[in-house]
Copies of this chain bind each other. A is one copy, B any other.
Amino acid sequence: MSHPVSPLAPKALAALPPIIGVRLATAAAGIRYQDRTDVLYVAFDQGAAVAGVFTRSKCPSAPVDWCRRNLGVGAARALVVNSGNANAFTGMKGAQAAGLTAEIAARVADCRPDQVFLASTGVIGEPLDAQKFDAVLADCDERADAFAWPDAAKAIMTTDTFPKLATRTAILGGVEVAINGIAKGAGMIAPDMATMLAFVFTDAPVTAAALQPLLSRGADKSFNCITVDSDTSTSDTLLMFSTGTALPRGAPVIDDHRDVRLRSFRRALDDLLTDLARQVARDGEGARKFVTVDVEGATSARSARRIALSIANSPLVKTAIAGEDANWGRVVMAVGKAGEPAERDRLAISFGDIRVATEGARDPDYDEAAASAYMKNDEIRVRVDLGLGRGKARIWTCDLTKAYVEINGDYRS
């Protein structure tokens, strides 16, 4: 798409190191876009343990069905992702297209189709012509190398204005292991499973049994804490592949997510997932401001989260932030409509460090000029203290601008 790069994009792309056992190639299948890549092929030559978290949509895409079914099968040997067509709501033909894609990739990777994982992103409801992958994937395995991370992140973009990459290292049993991740997503972003697509790779020898709870909990603290527009995709997919190729270097095999040796790894993974999730919010369609909503003093963490989401998803709060207006009245409104315990007379609201409301009324020291100056920042923090308990939550989002409407009024036609 030809939208200008988000002003909230990171200044530089993260430089991802090679992970032994992971090779990547991209290709242009012309599924929807011209003059750009739209297919990502990833080979796991020695196989990889897989974990996955998927959309909770009741109408998931065919690739989501496919991945869910094959998660338990065993080692992954390949991943194929396409952009431009989500292969969602395509009925029996969609399932057939997913199956055919896996068959084609299995021939290329010399494995079984159920060892191929799939993800598709783009328009919903259009039949996906999987036959195209035959010619496109043919030379991908030959071409795939350990360095194509930036290309990989670009190939999976749709309305994204910048590719999203992150990397971390962790110590596992005294050995350094790597975690690389790429993601895409800009609209139709909301919990649960906020990102549309994210793929994480590691050489740490963590089995699928241990990887799945690590990934699920990590997603709860990262991708499930962002929202762009409250719309949840049919295709949201977070897959993590662990090649175990740090084993020869002395990293231990970890089979239980409670293993104390996972401490550094877990922290690095959580950090990487949060990094990617925040990049998605920073690329929210039409976003000009990155917004952190912090709710504390709620009766429970769950209640805090609901209130934070009510604020982060409120069109009136989001448009006020776009207008650089410290309109805390709309924050009150969003707190009130969440339906969670709240007492007007105990509520305090701040923008950044500027407290605008306290004890159910405007702060007596409220300085409109200071608040207005703060709202001109690229990054805005909205803080709400309910004064009732100890529950807290943080949600990341972005503002709602005319560009969002423009992008989404023009996307398909």
CA distance A42 to B125 in the complex (A): 55
Nearest-CB residue, chain B, relative to A230? B315
Question: Which of A163-171, A255-263, A323-331 is found at the contact surface with chain B?
Answer: A323-331
CA distance A361 to B90 in the complex (A): 5
Contact yes or no, B405 A357, CB < 8 A: no
| A–B complex contacts, Cβ < 8 Å, 17 sampled | A55-B336, A59-B332, A60-B344, A89-B332, A91-B345, A123-B329, A188-B316, A230-B315, A231-B315, A231-B316, A231-B333, A233-B333, A234-B332, A323-B411, A323-B413, A325-B409, A405-B405
Encoded as 1 (CB less than 8 Å from any B CB) or 0, chain A from 121 to 133 comes to 0011111000000
A74 sits at the interface (CB 8 A): no
CA distance A195 to B334 in the complex (A): 16
CA distance A339 to B60 in the complex (A): 12
Contact yes or no, A124 B361, CB < 8 A: no
Q: Which of B58, B90, B413 interacts with A372 by CB under 8 Å? A: B413
A232 sits at the interface (CB 8 A): yes
Contact yes or no, B329 A58, CB < 8 A: no
Question: Which of A11-19, A21-29, A396-404 is found at the contact surface with chain B?
Answer: A396-404
Contact yes or no, B123 A190, CB < 8 A: no
Closest chain-B Cβ to A388's Cβ sits at a distance in Å of 11
Given A125-B362, A187-B316, A337-B231, A402 and B406 touching (CB < 8 A)? Answer: yes
Q: Which residues of B contact A339 (CB under 8 A)?
A: 56, 58
CA distance A316 to B410 in the complex (A): 11
